[in-house]
Amino acid sequence: MIRKAKLKDVKEIQKLIKLYSSRGDILPRSLSELYDQLRDFFVYLHNRKVVGICALHLCWENLGEIRSLAVYEEVRNRGIGAKLVNACLDEAKELGVKKVFALTYQPKFFGRLGFKEVDKSVLPHKIWADCLKCVKFPDCDEIAMVREID
């Protein structure tokens, strides 16, 4: 089941983020950031436990970012990640967002969801604020992908 995140989910969200951020797959998020950005998050529940997360962050007038996509390995390859991204895309459409991007190490996954690879230079400078927190900055090796919203 997918639903918007609730306050009671924050520590589980952070646990999942810590798992993948320790590997360098996603950016770490403090509890303070997660409470600030809670409304961005969707959670996927399996047996009443958070097993997947994804956020739609609004960046600009017509631009959103898919971020913090993570699914526990024991439930991967079941379509959970795609369902979470699609929930974010549906919300983007409802909000009137025209374009959504992701910075990713999984271009094939996002490609299957209709995202196209682009040069990072086409993205507004405003989105790089989070990148300053990354240990890989300024030598980012993530791939920028964009999807137009119908």
pLDDT tens for each residue of 45-63? 999 999 999 999 998 888 9
3-class DSSP string for the chain: CEEECCHHHHHHHHHHHHHHHCCCCCCCCCHHHHHHCHHHEEEEEECCEEEEEEEEEEEECCEEEEEEEEECHHHCCCCHHHHHHHHHHHHHHHHCCCEEEEEECCHHHHHHCCCEEECHHHCCHHHHHHHHHCCCCCCCCCEEEEEECC
Superfamily of domain 2-148: Gcn5-related N-acetyltransferase (GNAT) (3.40.630.30)
According to the model, what pLDDT value does residue 140 have? 62
The domain limits of the chain are: 2-148
pLDDT digits (tens, 9 = 90+) for 80-130: 999 999 999 999 999 999 999 999 999 999 999 999 999 877 776 655 555
Average pLDDT of the chain to the nearest whole number = 90
